[in-house]
Amino acid sequence: MRENKKNKESGIKRMHKYYSLTGFYTFIGKSLKASFPIIIGFVAVLFLLDRYVIDFSELFTHITNTYAPLHILLVFFISESLLGLIPPEIFIAWADKTVNPIVFLSLLATLSYLGGIVSYFIGKWFLKIPSVYDYMEVKMKKHLRNVKRWGGFMIVVGALLPIPFSMTSMAAGTINYSFRNYLLFGTLRFVRFYLYAIAIFNIV
């Protein structure tokens, strides 16, 4: 029993040393420093625009009444599958103006998670085409290197922080990262959506 405990502690120490030496903690620190101003800035801009320029409540209500939810959800799913072209926060704010915000927020989180899976398989299969792979490798060079180096922790960072989750998912597929582990770590995407919703729902 004591031997197992010592082995476990030794493994944790080795892991800690590895992440320290490879710069993972530095990367996380920089990501957090970079992400918090973006999040706060986005919320502040949204608040100021809503207060002095655009009535977001009216705007999103208009969008909700004009466009079928299925169409909006489809656009979001495509975006989340292809490098996260549109910020998820816009859709989170839209969900607040729907008939059932929690249901639509959960749908958005689920679609984002599924979009990540699509991105994973794009990385796994589609990037076997040499010309496409060369193009994506240039665009995703940093993500590829970080996922190879840090594995699951990079998936966690991509799921929680304002780093395009689709890009991290593609990188995971490209290096043949364990799909089972990817699915597990990717569930943190739901946490991000609910945390962001707490802030956005209280403002819009």
pTM for this prediction: 0.67
From 85, 88, 70, select the one nearest 159 (Cα to Cα). 88
Residue-by-residue DSSP string for 37-60: HHHHHHHHHHHHIIIII--HHHHH
Report how far apart, in Å, the C-alpha atoms of 161 and of each of 121, 126, 148, 194 are: 22, 26, 19, 13
Q: What is the spatial distance between Cα 138 and Cα 154, in angstroms, rounded to a whole number?
A: 19
Residue-wise pLDDT tens for the chain (204 aa)?
555 555 555 656 666 566 566 665 666 666 556 556 655 665 676 667 666 766 656 666 677 678 888 999 999 999 899 877 788 888 888 888 888 889 999 999 999 999 999 999 988 887 677 776 666 666 666 666 766 676 677 788 778 877 778 888 887 888 788 899 899 989 999 998 998 888 776 644
**Cβ atoms of residues 19 and 153 within 8 Å:** yes
| Enclosing domain of residue 122 | 2-201
pLDDT at 35: 56
Q: How many domains does the chain have?
A: 1
Q: What is the spatial distance between Cα 89 and Cα 165, in angstroms, rounded to a whole number?
A: 13
